[in-house]
Amino acid sequence: MPTPIAVLGAGSFGTCLAVQAAREHDITIWARDEETARAIEHDRHNPRYLSDIVLPDAIHATHKLEEALANRELVICAIPSHGLRDVMTRARSFMDPEAILVSTVKGIEVETGMLMHQVLEDVLDPVFHSRLVVLSGPSFAREVAEHKPSAVSLACREENFAISVQTALSCPWFRCYTHDDVVGVEVGGALKNVVAIAVGMCDGLGMGLNARAALMTRGLREISRVGVALGANPLTFLGLSGMGDLLLTCTGDLSRNRSVGIELGRGHSLREIIARMNQVAEGVRTTHAVCELATRLGVDMPIAYATRKVLTGELTPQQAGLALLSRQLKSEVE
């Protein structure tokens, strides 16, 4: 039975999920920009993201939130983290009170230190809180849109809502697993972008595969520390939204955050790197936010702190690498 689905956000991931779900469901995609919505509606292409992908006729596009959300049973939120609060504040009055909300947003709100599900709970009526599902895992948008095999986690405090989303979105090339650790799944999805910038710098400097493996492993340790301090299950970080997403984002050529790190390692400034990009590298904002959060929690995150110093211009990538390698020796399990 087709499900009426709204996708809020016509970036790469919103577009790929609209394509993915349109094989069986009725999809409305909301684009902030009217011109983008018009192009999707009439040309069957997104002019800015995944522009070579033909969009199915089952996808209807609009720039009006009230139109996108009208009579939608499932709402997929694929908005950049810095725009989430504003868009959902405007959207909340148009949402069906029975709708299930799926968040694919990865990051930490800079101003508050909130995870994305906490921002949504802060904005939305309590009726939606138990029906909030977080989607995360190793899933480059282009590969999902091209129907290449992917697997993701769907985390919700009440499993029956995660199962509903699992049933709606899963197919032979897009496999969804349910989970109950919302905090852990969100922390893994957000903080892997920070580690990916660090790993990208390592690769840009030509430091080798040994160094890359060490950074990824110790980076996962930092992610786990923050997650556990926030109440997550440590085993979550061995799964798709933890180690799985980290492996993909740190090694895949489609990773925006790794690309930022590579260019930093090659000596380019953050300003010029960002100016050349037409997509958001969430890890830049998340690095600043997680360092503030870690300080508040009393959690040690040397890789994240070193990455922040490179982003702010306090250290060069070479200096940051030397600082990490010169730290006091300690046990691996600390």
| Residues involved in catalysis | 192
DSSP code of residue 329: P
Rounded distance, CA 228 to CA 224, Å? Answer: 6
Neighbours of 209 (CB within 10 A): 9
Q: How many residues can be counted in the chain?
A: 334
Rounded distance, CA 266 to CA 104, Å? Answer: 31
Rounded distance, CA 194 to CA 303, Å? Answer: 9
Token pair 């702010």 is found at 312
Please give the full DSSP string across 82-127, using - where no structure is assigned.
Answer: GGHHHHHHHHGGGS-TT-EEEE---SB-TTT--BHHHHHHHHS-GG
C-alpha torsion angle, residues 90, 93, 94, 96 (rounded to 10): 140
